[in-house]
Amino acid sequence: MEPLTPKALRRAKWVMRAVLVLTPLTSFYMMQFIFGGLPWDYSPGVTLANYICIGAVFFLLTALTNRVLLCSLITHLLCFIWAMANYFVNLYRGLPILPWDFTALRTAVAVAGSYDLYLTWQMGASLTILAGIAVLIVRMVRQSGVRRMRQTRLVRAGCLLLGLVCVQPVVNTGTLGAFGVATDVWDPAASYRSSGIVATFLRNFQFMEVQQPADFSEGYIRSLLARADSASGPAAAPETPNILVIMSESWADFESFGTLTFSEPLTEHIDASGALRGTAYASVFGAGTSASEFEFLTGNSMAFLPSGSIPYQQYVTDGSASLARTLAAYGYRCVAFHPGQESSWQRNSAYPKLGFDEFYSEEDIQVPVTTAHGYISDATDYAEVIRLFEEKEPGQPLFLFNVTIQNHGSYTDPDYPATVTVNEAPGLYPKAEQYLTLVNQSDEDFQLLVDFFSSYEEPTLILMFGDHQPSVEEEFLQAVYGLPEDGSMTMEQYMGKYRVPYLVWANYDLPAEQAPTLSLNFLGQQVLRYAGLEPTGYGTYLNDLAAALPVLTFPGYQDPAGNAYSHLETNDYTPLIEAYRAFQYNNLFGDEERADDLYLPAA
């Protein structure tokens, strides 16, 4: 090849300089474009912050390999993959990828196959532009003969220096706030869109540590309990009845909103069972089952934990206080059953720490197995539950915590035709109609339990609740919530996204009363009440708090009149919330200050 002309050499150098300078910037713009942002949406500070974060990888990689063009291509591809992953995770669970998600990779892999992945036009456009730029650069390289060129030691040293400088805010993520990178723990997707996926993800590491209250000492916690009113004691019930708690996957009562009607009733068998019906509120939407389990079993609220955190991996330790540990103190054998993978949400590790004696998963099922849209059916699940009760030791009270899986998303299985349609718009919402068909089947399957336990010799209490609402068409959900076309909503309507049903049924007489509206962190105490059992000191405090503030979730809270409030506002309820935060912190992280005896029944 002939020696480079001075003009070609200058052009080659300018190409390399442009690639070196622009790669972090173009990678950032491409990433945000895929997630729904445009270059002019970002302030100079936010742009610089994300440039620095991406540059930390690009400049160090370039200094190491001395391959500018290859490193540029790798950086763009990594940003493309990262943006695409965040897009789909946010689409299907309502939250983008957060730092603590990497502790639940097995669960994510296990359910990923049931979701549809596709290229949006933004992804397609980004790939096309990226491919075009790559072809153009390669052609320019070949024409100029730059293949013979290597970056000088001075340029490589400069890349190394730039990379090391860029690493500083990546390691000390709090400094990203100085650039205008803001996080929103109640709407992470919005902050990812406004402050950049990379920079905001990194800044979320600051929430890996739970905020410590001003006072969580044992003395302060005991003073809170001393002021609690325990007037509402246990209901009349047989001594230590068996307890079956079912957390029904994605169970939502869309009929109760009164905005849409369906071709078939969705709770016909449940209504006919005579069960007490109530409304509960979860802290998650569309996904995050283990968060709902955690709230129900422990009485702790996700409102005081980082957005999207996974308590089973982060906050459950040996000896953690829970409903199972409370019932074990009353002589119950405590069993958990989930017809999915035992490692899902690391339940096989969390359940023993919560006091369960045994845990059964899909490989332990001994009844004939049927599936619905790829998941083990509720009919199979309930048949296995019945088997466990049939084979239990007579006279030994059993607490069985059952997490179903039939109604798990996604709702796009072509081999599972919908038989329930939306009367106002049949066929317009195929995901919702497949979901409604599944829920209708769950209602029919509940009759299996009623039939069995109605003639079961031992007194048995059943409480069933939904873990969260399903992730179906946004247009369907807006219609259910009664939202205007622009999607705006009041705080009460926003809380409607987290509304789930619950029921209480027993083969003995329950109190003739209205089931209270409660968030899941308070609902667990109702199990003890309807079973005629005294709560722990913590439970007494929770019951007292629920009388004043019956709903307290991550998205917000509600007073007894149903008025909803955001955690961003300060009002008369703020002292109650801060006291609860302190009690929960003492429970989870109190160490030597932990009031251990308040988390177990009195001797």
Please check whether residue 553 is in contact with residue 498, taking contact to mean a CB–CB distance below 8 angstroms: yes
For CA atoms 74, 75, 77, 81, give the dihedral sign: positive
pLDDT of 143 reads 59
pLDDT of 45 reads 85
Tell me how many degrees the CA angle 197-202-204 measures, rounded to the nearest 5.
Answer: 95
Nearest-10 crossing angle of helices 574-589, 537-548: 160
pLDDT in tens, 72-123: 888 888 999 888 888 888 877 667 887 766 655 555 555 555 566 778 888 8
User: From CA 559, how far away is CA 355, in angstroms rounded?
Assistant: 32
Whole-number CA gyration radius for the chain: 28
pLDDT of 5 reads 62
pLDDT of 149 reads 47
pLDDT in tens, 189-223: 888 888 888 888 888 777 667 888 989 999 999 99
pLDDT of 141 reads 61
pLDDT of 390 reads 95
Please check whether residue 516 is in contact with residue 503, taking contact to mean a CB–CB distance below 8 angstroms: no
pLDDT of 325 reads 95
Burial of 46 (0-12, 13-18, 19+ CB in 10 A): buried
pLDDT of 211 reads 82
Give every CB contact of residue 262 below 8 A, 6+ residues apart in sequence: 254, 255, 420, 421, 422, 423, 436
pLDDT of 331 reads 94
pLDDT of 313 reads 74
The segments of the chain whose pLDDT lies below 50 read 1, 147-149
User: What Å distances lie between residue 328 and 57, 170, 399, 542, CA to CA?
Assistant: 52, 46, 9, 20
